[in-house]
Structure 1
Amino acid sequence: MTPSPLARRLIDRFQHGMPLCAEPYKAMAETLGCSETQVIDCLQHLQLAGTLSRVGPVFEHSRAGASTLAALAVPPERLHQVAGRVSQYPEVNHNYEREHRYNLWFVLTGPDRAHLDNILQELEQDTGLTPLDLPMLTAYRIDLGFALEATP
């Protein structure tokens, strides 16, 4: 799917931050010269098409609680079932398959490390699989934004 001109402008302008105000979609629309309804419709269309996975904040995990990257080595015939179990936790904000012995990776975020440890223990008990727990030791900031519009 090729993004519409509005979608390209929306992504280019706001992929690194949304307005912090009571009506962010209205402020975005004013910046883009369109209506708030057009912004919301555009975002919904991008999400339904699978082009956009989420709109929301990214928090510095160490200031908002604790987080860890975890992985499981799941037998292929159980992958869908185990991924569904992992996704049942609201603390899971990514859950994806990788081509590796550890083929199911997910990120857990919670109020403290003990909370995350409890979830990892529950998952091990429920699935019989031992999670690989990879807490972040050093943060590296990488700009993952990509320009969609030609720059003059």
Structure 2
Amino acid sequence: MDMGSLARRLMNRFQHGMPLCPEPYREMASTLGCDEEQLLECLRHLDRSGQLSRIGPVFEHSRAGASTLAALAVPVERLQQVAERVSQYPEVNHNYAREHAYNLWFVLTGPDRPHLDRVLDELQQDTGLAPLDLPMLTAYRIDLGFALGDAP
């Protein structure tokens, strides 16, 4: 089976609605007409090549605890070091650089707001940089799926 074709079909079909069952990869493979090992090898290939950044659910954070968008204004020469420190926290589920005075942005999710405050305080102590804390006030639902064209 052509890996490129399988990858396109996999990403088109399962950007949303991954099976909730004891063997999701087997179910996905069955849906795509391949075996589970082919599907897993395709996922490993996508991961190694940088075409896939994560596989997993997206939770409604307000039902699972607390969440906030945060940013740091990091001197360019410290950006890699500070980004690695931020990424060490299991509460961080996105961490990315941007071209702006606040050049390191990340999302924190935790059990409650005081927990997030402790993480932000600890980061400030560790880095000497004051986080910009931007909690969500209004939710806007957008579909982040992208059709990859015809997938035979």
Alignment TM-score, normalising by the size of structure 2: 0.95
- 4+ runs of 1 displaced by more than 6 Å? none
Give the superposition deviation at 1:46: 0.4
1:147 CA drift (Å): 1.1
| Cα displacement (A) at 1:149 | 3.0
Structure 2 residue 136 is the aligned partner of structure 1 residue 136: yes
How far did 1:26 drift? 0.5
Per the alignment, residue 32 of structure 1 pairs with: 32
Report what 1:50 is aligned to: 50
Please give the residue correspondences for 1:1-152 in structure 2 after superposition, counting only pairs within 5 Å: 4-150=4-150
The 3-state SS of whatever aligns with 1:4 is helix
Cα distance between partner residues in 2 of 1:101 and 1:141: 28
Q: Which letter does structure 1 place at the counterpart of 2:25?
A: Y
The CA deviation at 1:63 is: 0.5
TM-aligned CA deviation for residue 150 of structure 1: 2.5
Task: Provide, for residues 32-56 of structure 1, a one-character-per-residue CA deviation record: whole Å limited to 9, x for no partner.
Answer: 1100111111111101100000000
Q: Which amino acid aligns with 2:131?
A: P
Letter in 1 for 2:95: N
Letter in 2 for 1:65: G
Within 1, Cα distance between the matches of 2:150 and 2:85?
43
Q: What's the secondary structure of 2:82's corresponding residue?
A: helix
Unaligned runs of 5+ in 2: none
Hey, what's the Cα distance between the residues in 2 that align with 1:50 and 1:14? 18
Percent identity of paired positions between Structure 1 and Structure 2: 77
Query: Following the alignment from structure 2 to structure 1, what is the Cα–Cα distance between the partners of residues 102 and 80?
Result: 14
Give CA deviations for 1:50-96 in whole Å, capped at 9, x if unaligned. 00000000000001111100000001111111111111111111111
* 1:65–1:109 contact (8 Å) kept in structure 2: yes
Aligned residues, how many? 149
Counterpart amino acid of residue 57 in structure 1: P
Q: Matches of 2:33 and 2:79 in 1, distance apart?
A: 46
Q: TM-score, normalised by structure 1?
A: 0.95
Return 5+ residue gaps in structure 1 as ranges: none
Contact 1:9 1:149 in 2 (8 A): no
Distance, in Å, in 1 between the alignment partners of 2:149 and 2:96 is 29
